[in-house]
Structure 1
Amino acid sequence: MALNSVSIALTGSGGAGVMTSGQVLVDAAAKAGWYGLMARSLGPQIRGGESAALLRLSPSPVQAMDDCYDLMLAVDWGNIERFASEIPLTSKSIIITDPEQGDVPAIMLAKNPIVVPIPLKEIAASVPQGRVNMVALGIVAALAGVPEEFCIEVLAAALKKKGPEALETSIAAMRAGAAHADKVQGVPKLDAAVKTDKERWSITGNEATGLGVLRGGVRYVAAYPITPATEVLEYMAPQLPKLGGCLVQAEDELASINMVIGGSFGGVPAMTSTSGPGLALMTEAIGLAVASETPLVVVNVQRGGPSTGIPTKSEQSDLNIAVYGLHGDAPHIVTAPTSIADCLFTAQWTVYLAEAMQAPAILLSDQAMGQARAIIDRPADVAFIGQRLKPEMTDGAIDEGYLRYKVTADGVSPMAIPGMKGGEYTADGLEHSPRGTPSTQAQHHQEQLDKRERKITGFDYGSHWAEIEGDGEIAVVTWGSVTEQVREGIDRVAEAGGPKVKLISLRLIAPALPEKMAAELAGVSKVLVVEQCHGKQFTKYLKASYTLPPVVQTLNRPGPLAIRPYEVVAALNALAATSA
C-alpha cells in the first residue's frame, strides 16, 4: 500500500547542527509511536562543508526514502549546489528559509516550490544562548505533528551531561520556533501515532552490523578507521570488553587484516571493518585466509569509487572486488544485508558461515544503510552462533595422526587451536599436503582446491540466501540497500492494479546457488535488475552465474543519487509492456 508519510530535509553548513535536530526529531517520533528513517548527506571535508539530514516519518515501518521531499528547512545555503540533486522537490514542496541568509539559490527553485521566509537567526537571538538548529527543530516538529513532550524527553537524554541550563535553553529555542509554524501551510499530516507495547529500536546500519557480529561470537576486532565504516568500530569498541573481547586500532588496513588472521588462528572469532580502498589493500591477506582456511569476517561499507572516490556517498560498486578480487582460485563467502534492520541478522549469519566453513567472509553494506538511522521493531533473536569444528582429544591431547587439512566429504576439517597438544601444524600461504606441509605436488594442489571449493558450494544455506516475496511472471532481482525502494515500488504497482511482481533480493552473493535461483525463476519470463552501480556489476554477475529468463532489463545508476520508488514503478510498467 502507499505509505502515509512526510519527508523532510534539514540542510546547512557543517556544524550548523542539522544532524542533531534530525536525530532528535526521528527519535521523538518513535517515542510518539511512529516509525522513521534519517539518512545523512555530507561533504568530504574534515570540518565545515555541506550537510543534510534527510528524514521520512510514517505510522508504518519505513526504511527507504520517498520520491521527493515535502518540506525543506535551510539553516543556511552553504554549498547547497553540491548536493541539491539529492533533495528532489516538486511544486508542492515547501522551503523554509531565513531571509538573512540571502535569496534561495536558483537550483532549488527549478520545480517552483513554495518558499516561506522565517527569520530563524533572529528567533534564536531572542532566546539567551539560543541555537538556530533548535529553532528549526521546533518548527519542523510542530509541522510534522511530533508532540513537544517527546522532543523534550529526547533532548533531556542528549543534553544530560551539559546540565539543566543547556536543556532549558534548547527547550526555549524550540518553543520559539514552534510559535512560527503557523506561517507554513500544506505540510502533509501523518495518521495519528498508535502507541504500542512492542519494543522499538533507534539504530543505524553500522550499529546493527556491529551488534550482529557480536551476537555471532566475534570477540576480536582489528581495524583502521575509514568513512563510512568507522561507526561499526565506534559501536563495538565499548561493547567488546564487556564480553571479554577487545578492539585494536591498527596503523593501517594491511596491519588490521593480518592481525585479524592471527587472532582467528588463535581461536577467537575475529573481524575487521573497512570501505573500498581498505578492501583493496586487504585482498592478498584474505587470500592467505582462504589458503590457510582461517575464518574471519570483513565488513565492507561501500562508498563511491574508484580510488578515494566520494567517501561520504553511497554506491554498490565494490561487488566485483568482493567476488573476484582475490588472486588464484580462492573460494570465499560474500553476503549483503537487505536493509538497515537486516544488517543485524546478516552480520550474525555471516560470522556463523565463516566459522562453520573455516573461510573468510566479506559482508557488503554501504553508506546509504550504514550511516542511516531507522526506527525498527526489535528484531527477533536468532540462534546463529559461530562454531568451528575442532579435533577430538583423548587424555588432554589430540589423537595421533592429526591432519589439519584432511580431505573430508564436506570439505571442512578439524582446526586445532594453538596450545592443543598434538595439534601443531603449518598454516601459511603455500599450497600444502593434508598435514599442512608445503607441497608442489599436483595431487595435493588438486585435492586442496577441490576441498576449499566443496565446503563453500556444498554448504546448506537454507532459506536465508535471499529474501523472496510475491509471485508473478516478472521478477525484480536486487541486493543491498536498494531493496527497500524496490519493495515499495512493487507495492505501488500492486496497489495500482499492475502486473504481479516477484521480489528476489540476494543476501548471499557468493557462492552462487544456481539450483535455488532456478527454482525461484520458474514461471518468470522477465527480470528487472536494480542496482546502484554505473557498470552494471550485479547484472553482469547474475548473467555469469545464473540462467536468466529471455528478457532482462536493468535499472541502474551510480551514487550518490538514490534510486527512488517511482523509478522502480516506471521500470516495471515499461518491462510489463515489453514482449517476452
Structure 2
Amino acid sequence: MDHHSLSIALCGSGGAGVMTAGQMLLDAAATAGAYGLMSKALGPQIRGGEAAALLRLASRPVDSPDDVFDVLLAVDWNNIERFAAELPLQRHSLLIADPAAGVIPPAILKAEPRVVEVPLGALATACGGRVNMVALGLLATLAGLPVEAVEAVIGIELADKGEAAVASSRAAVLAGATAAATIEGIERLPLPATINEGARRWALSGNEASGLGALRAGVRFVAAYPITPATEILEWLAPRLPRVGGSLVQAEDELASINMIIGAAYGGVPSLTATSGPGLALMTEAIGLAVAAEIPLVICNVMRGGPSTGIPTKSEQADLDIALHGLHGDAPHLVTAAAGIADCAFTTQWTVQLAEALQVPGIVLSDQASGQARAIVDALPDPGLRARRQTAEADAEGYMRYVPTADGISPMAIPGTPGGEYTADGLEHAPRGTPSTQAAHHREQLDKRRHKLEQFDYGEDWALCEGDEWADTAVITFGSLTGAAREAVARLNAAGVPVRLLSLRLLAPAQPAAFAAALFGVERALVVEQNHDGQFLRYLRSTCPLPKRTVGHHRPGPVAIRPDEIVKAVMTLIALPQSTLVEEV
C-alpha cells in the first residue's frame, strides 16, 4: 500500500447510487484537505447493469490509479464479473461484503483478499437511510476522513431533496462510520492539521477542464452532437457560453456540427466541437475542407474503445491513427494530446490559440480515462493563451487570401470587410481563392499549408520532460497514460534506477529536432500506449529519431495500464542484452 494514498472501489448495480456516494467521498476528501481521483466503470446500458466508482484518495496530488485497490465494497454483486479485470486486488486488500447481498463471485476472490462482512442493508433499514450512504460513512471512516466533512458534503449535495433526506443520509453515514470502527488493518490517510483556506482547490473532470480551456481561449461558438464520453464538455459549456456572449447549438448529427463550426469560424468566431471516434470518422471530409480553405477550428475528441460503436463507456487510445492520418489528400493539421485531467484545460486552450494563429483545424485528443474521471486539483491558473487571428485590413489593394508569405500565414478577411471578398471552398485555388487545376498552384498551396505548420515555433509546451535528465533510459507516452508513467518513473528513480519521462502534447506536426534533444543521451526507450496495434510507436518510428533499443508496451483497454506494469516493463528493457532490438513486449 502507498501510505500517502488509499485506493477504493465502490461497486453495485446501476441505480444503486455508487457514483453518488463516490462523488461525495471525493468531495469529503477535498473538504478535509486531501487530494483525490475518481474514475467510472460503467456498462453500455442506458439504465441498470454494472457500475463502479474507482477512487484514489491521497495526501498529495495524484493523477493516476494505483496498482491495486486497498478496499473493495460492493453494495451488491450483480454483474460485477463483467468488470472484475478492472478491479485488481491482492492479499492485503480488504473486501467488504454484505452477507445478505449474495455469494461473492469467484473472480473477485481469486486474489484471496481479506473478507469482512458488514450488514449494509440491515444498517440502512435500521436508520431509515440508503445503503450507499452507509457505504459512504464506512469508507470515509476507513480513509480517516472526519464525519463532519462528510456531513458538510451531504448538506450541500442533498439540500434540494429536503431536510428528511439530509437527516436520513446523515444517520446512514453515522451507522457506516460506527461499523468501520471495528475494522482493522487499513492505515488512515495523513491529513493536514489545518486547512489553508487561501490555497484553493478545484474538483473537476477532464471534460469540464476542456470546456474551461475553450472558454479561456476565446471560443464563443460550439456546435456538437452528444456522444459518450464527450457529452459532458457540451453540458458544462451550455450554460456558460451565453454568459460571455457565446452560444451552443446541439446539432442533428456530427456532420452538421462540424459544418456549423466551419461556418462560424469563417465568420470570425473561434469555434469548437466535441466528439468521440465514431463522430470524428464522420467529420473527416469536412475537416479536409477547413484545411483547404485555411479555416481555424478545434475538435475535442474524447477517445473510447473501437472500432465502430466499440465500447462506448471504456477508455482506449485507438483514435490516434485517424486523428493523424484520417484526412484524404495531403492535409496537414494540428493534433494535440492532453496529459491528464487538469492538462485538458491547458491543452485545449493552447490548441485554440494555435489553430487561430495558424488558420488550421486542430484535434485535441483526450479519452474516457481523463474526460469522465474527476480529480481534486490545485486551482488552475489561466496561462493567458488567447485566440488571435491575423486578419486583413479593409480595402486592402489587390487582396489575395491565399498568397504565400514568409511564414505561410496569410491575412484572413472577415466576411463584410470592404475589399476582402474571396472564394473559400474545398477546390484547389490560386492565391486569390479562385479555383485552379494548375499544377503550379496546387504545389504552391500544398507547400504553403505545410510550411506554416512546420516553421511555427511551438515553444516548450510541445511535450512534458520530467525525471532524471541524465538517465540513459526513457519512458515515452502521451495522453492519460502520462500520470501512470510519471508515477512509474518516480518509483524507479527513488529505487536508484535513473529514468526520464517524455510525454508528447503536440503530436502533429512532429517535432523531430526537439524530440532528439529531449532524448539526448538516451540509449533505450519504452513507448507506452493504450491500444492494440502500437499506433504511437509506429508513428514515432516514421517521424522521429528513436533510440535503437526502443520497445513498445501497448495493449487495448478497458483495463488501465498502471504504474507497476510500466515499472516491470522498464526493468525488462534494461535487462535485455545490448545487441537485442525488440519490437514489442
Q: Under a length normalisation based on structure 1, what TM-score does the superposition of the two structures give? A: 0.98
Amino acid in the other structure paired with 1:473: D
Mapped contact 1:466–1:504 kept (Cα < 8 A)? yes
What's the offset of the Cα at 1:184? Answer: 1.8
Distance 2:87 2:397 in 1: 67
Determine the structure 2 residue equivalent to 1:447.
Answer: 444
Instruction: Tell me the SS of whatever aligns to 1:355.
Output: helix
Determine the structure 2 residue equivalent to 1:501.
Answer: 499
What's the offset of the Cα at 1:218? Answer: 0.4
What's the offset of the Cα at 1:2? Answer: 6.1
Determine the structure 2 residue equivalent to 1:154.
Answer: 153
What's the offset of the Cα at 1:151? Answer: 1.0
Determine the structure 2 residue equivalent to 1:427.
Answer: 424
1:553 aligns with 2:554: no
1:379 aligns with 2:380: yes
What's the offset of the Cα at 1:188? Answer: 2.5
Determine the structure 2 residue equivalent to 1:370.
Answer: 371
1:304 aligns with 2:301: no
Match of 1:400 among 388, 393, 397: 397
Instruction: Tell me the SS of whatever aligns to 2:364.
Output: strand
Q: Any idea what the Cα deviations from partners look like across 1:319-354, whole Å, max 9, x if unmatched?
A: 000000000000000000111111110010000000
Amino acid in the other structure paired with 2:123: I
Mapped contact 1:528–1:555 kept (Cα < 8 A)? yes
Instruction: Tell me the SS of whatever aligns to 2:490.
Output: helix
Determine the structure 2 residue equivalent to 1:209.
Answer: 210
Mapped contact 2:217–2:353 kept (Cα < 8 A)? yes
Determine the structure 1 residue equivalent to 2:435.
Answer: 438
Determine the structure 2 residue equivalent to 1:260.
Answer: 261
What's the offset of the Cα at 1:293? Answer: 0.4
Determine the structure 2 residue equivalent to 1:233.
Answer: 234
**Residues 3 and 256 (structure 1), Cα distance of their counterparts in 2 relative to 1, 3 Å cut:** farther
Q: Any idea what the Cα deviations from partners look like across 1:265-291, whole Å, max 9, x if unmatched?
A: 111000000000000000000000000
What's the offset of the Cα at 1:3? Answer: 6.0
1:102 aligns with 2:102: yes
Mapped contact 1:8–1:70 kept (Cα < 8 A)? yes
Q: Under a length normalisation based on structure 2, what TM-score does the superposition of the two structures give? A: 0.97
Determine the structure 1 residue equivalent to 2:62.
Answer: 62
Tell which deviates more after alignment, 205-214 or 467-476.
467-476
Mapped contact 2:392–2:414 kept (Cα < 8 A)? no
Q: How does 1:403-418 map to 2 (within 5 A)?
A: 403-418=400-415
Instruction: Tell me the SS of whatever aligns to 1:412.
Output: coil
Amino acid in the other structure paired with 2:190: D
Distance 2:3 2:293 in 1: 50
What's the offset of the Cα at 1:26? Answer: 0.8
1:292 aligns with 2:302: no
Q: How does 1:479-518 map to 2 (within 5 A)?
A: 479-498=478-497, 500-518=498-516
Structure 2: tracts of 5 or more residues without a match = 579-585
What's the offset of the Cα at 1:183? Answer: 3.1
Corresponding residue pairs, total: 574
Q: Any idea what the Cα deviations from partners look like across 1:411-449, whole Å, max 9, x if unmatched?
A: 111111111111111110000011000000111101100
Q: Any idea what the Cα deviations from partners look like across 1:72-128, whole Å, max 9, x if unmatched?
A: 110001100110110000111111111111111111100111111111111111123
Mapped contact 2:42–2:52 kept (Cα < 8 A)? yes
Mapped contact 1:70–1:188 kept (Cα < 8 A)? no
Structure 1: tracts of 5 or more residues without a match = none
Q: How does 1:120-159 map to 2 (within 5 A)?
A: 120-128=120-128, 130-159=129-158
Amino acid in the other structure paired with 1:347: T
Determine the structure 2 residue equivalent to 1:179.
Answer: 178
What's the offset of the Cα at 1:148? Answer: 1.1
Distance 1:156 1:260 in 2: 41
Give the % identical residues. Answer: 60
Distance 1:411 1:164 in 2: 64
Distance 2:250 2:233 in 1: 13
What's the offset of the Cα at 1:182? Answer: 2.3
What's the offset of the Cα at 1:530? Answer: 0.5
What's the offset of the Cα at 1:549? Answer: 1.0
Distance 2:503 2:453 in 1: 20
Amino acid in the other structure paired with 2:556: P
Q: Any idea what the Cα deviations from partners look like across 1:382-437, whole Å, max 9, x if unmatched?
A: 111010100123xxxx2221111111111111111111111111110000011000
Distance 1:38 1:461 in 2: 33
Mapped contact 2:393–2:417 kept (Cα < 8 A)? no
Mapped contact 2:337–2:366 kept (Cα < 8 A)? yes
Match of 1:577 among 575, 578, 584: 575
Match of 2:562 among 555, 560, 564: 564
Distance 2:328 2:538 in 1: 20
Distance 1:404 1:157 in 2: 55
Instruction: Tell me the SS of whatever aligns to 1:126.
Output: helix
Instruction: Tell me the SS of whatever aligns to 1:64.
Output: coil
Instruction: Tell me the SS of whatever aligns to 2:38.
Output: strand
Amino acid in the other structure paired with 2:205: T
Determine the structure 1 residue equivalent to 2:581.
Answer: none
